[in-house]
Structure 1
Amino acid sequence: MVGRMLMLGCMLMLSGCVTSALYESDGKRYVEPINQVMVSTDGEWFVVLGIRHHYVFPMPEELQHTFESGFYPQVRATFGGFKVNNFNRISGRYRLWLKPEANEAQRAAALEAGYQLEGRTVLYEGEVSGKRYSAEGFDAPEAIHTQALNGSYSITVTEALSPGVVAMRTAATPLAVLADGAVVLAAIPLVVIVGADIAINGMPSLHSP
């Protein structure tokens, strides 16, 4: 499972993570550079590490099924349309599709797994939702920087705040760094995504050559 989850990079409610302090915000759209994208070794979570925020998402069931399947090496993925509300809940959309070189058996397996046929393209579209945390005080280990992405990437987020509603202050990240440099989420190790055909906001794939 871990090897396959390396192909990819619920609302996380951990006691002590959410602060009660509030701040006023009129909403805005911002673009934040991405340092790294990681997944948990149990395949349950994926995390986008920005320079100011960490975005924690539960792994959508369809993504889990995809990366447990025999056709997963032929899958490309893209994420976009991210919005965050007053309570730092973030949501967006993802799109999976098979590369043109996928063979008929792989295409048939994907269709059986719930993918749809759009012209000649076999694809699946869904939504992700999770939570935004502050990255302040997080000292990323050297491995995060040495296993760099293959270019400059960013995530575009729209703060879709309700008028007249006071927004909750962004909670501290639930990520921690152990003495050996391992990054964990609630004691679950995270690993860097490698060799993936994944794009965020329509940008080129993160670790592909």
Structure 2
Amino acid sequence: MAPWGQTGFQDANSPLMEQLIFFHDHSMFILIIIMTLVMYMTTLLATNKFSCLLISESQKIETIWTIIPSIILLFLALPSLRLLYLLDETNNPLLTIKVIGHQWYWSYEYSDFINIEFDSYMTPTQDLIMGNYRLLETDHHLIVPVKTNTRMIISSADVIHSWTIPSLGVKVDAVPGRLNQLMIFPLRPGLFYGQCSEICGANHSFMPITLEVINMKTFTNWLSKSNPLCP
């Protein structure tokens, strides 16, 4: 991958991440216009030979350079507020998964089913196979169906952690004694990686998240194999 590609966002795999990328591009477009205008005015003032030392105020220009930034802030604030409410929205989840952060691993519990819970540890470097990512692969993947509203209920058993999947545009703190929730809606199957984004101790860098998104038929087959009580 080229260095330029490494500095950008991951490919969006949820409607929320698509909206976040759109808002980023929208903000950058406005920022480029402002920077271009400021550079043009600076160059113009530096090269202009006309000056008047007797001018101490101009109410008209002061009014203009107060109103225009206010309008620009509205173009940034309104989409930002809309996106903020979208990130907190929860709509009819079909699946609920409880996520608990530990020092230094994650445990998952499928609350809608019986006896489907497991711990997820980072795969040691010596156990990696071809195609695995170092420090990102786990021994057990979190498995969710594609194009399904999935609610994640997140907490911690010891210190503050942070459950993060960049390609889904989600990042929520796991706080001891508190339940935080988020919604994910993966748009395509595949493996997607994240890491704890809160400094939680000596092995903070070694508690990755591996999300495996599969189709609904494969997901139901996995449920049947994981729990014989499932139909």
Structure whose residues are more often helix by fraction: 2
Q: Which has the higher contact order (CA 8 A, sep 6+)?
A: 1
Q: Indicate the structure with greater strand content.
A: 1
Shorter-chain TM range is under 0.3
